[in-house]
């Protein structure tokens, strides 16, 4: 019965892998972001304009304190009070 797995010595496996890769070029060009998929940056990217800084989350969800959920489980849920809401793009106002 033929083997399903063929193992190669490390040097031979490395040579086989490298034979399928093309060498990187040193040329660079400016392109738009959607066209950059699969490409490599020619230099570090940095934002020239600082981001507006405020506490925010980029995902939906709830923030809870660990001590308020201690001991909670599927059979013994913790009941929490909603104390605030922060809409997307708005700053968190603490009282």
Write b or e for each residue in 70-80: b if 16 or more Cβ atoms lie within 10 A of its Cβ, otherwise e.
Answer: eeeeeeeeeee
pLDDT of residue 1: 57
pLDDT of residue 76: 94
Higher pLDDT, 95 or 79: 79
Q: Work out the percent of the chain whose per-residue pLDDT is above 90.
A: 33
User: Six-digit token pair at 24?
Assistant: 């990187």
Can you list the alpha helix ranges (DSSP code H) found in the chain? Answer: 10-19, 66-69
**What's the predicted TM-score (pTM) here?**
0.32
The single residue listed with the structure tokens 């959920």 is 69
Interatomic CA distance for residues 29 and 35, integer angstroms: 11
Interatomic CA distance for residues 86 and 51, integer angstroms: 19
User: Six-digit token pair at 27?
Assistant: 């040329």
């Amino acid at each position: 019965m033929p083997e399903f797995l063929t193992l190669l010595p490390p040097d031979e496996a490395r040579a086989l892998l490298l034979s399928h890769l093309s060498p990187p070029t040193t040329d660079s060009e400016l392109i738009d972001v959607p066209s950059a998929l699969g490409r490599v940056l020619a230099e570090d990217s940095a934002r020239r304009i600082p981001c507006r800084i405020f506490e925010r989350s980029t995902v939906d969800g709830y923030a809870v304190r660990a001590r308020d959920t201690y001991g909670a489980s599927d059979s013994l849920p913790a009941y929490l009070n909603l104390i605030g809401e922060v809409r997307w793009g708005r700053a968190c106002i603490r009282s």
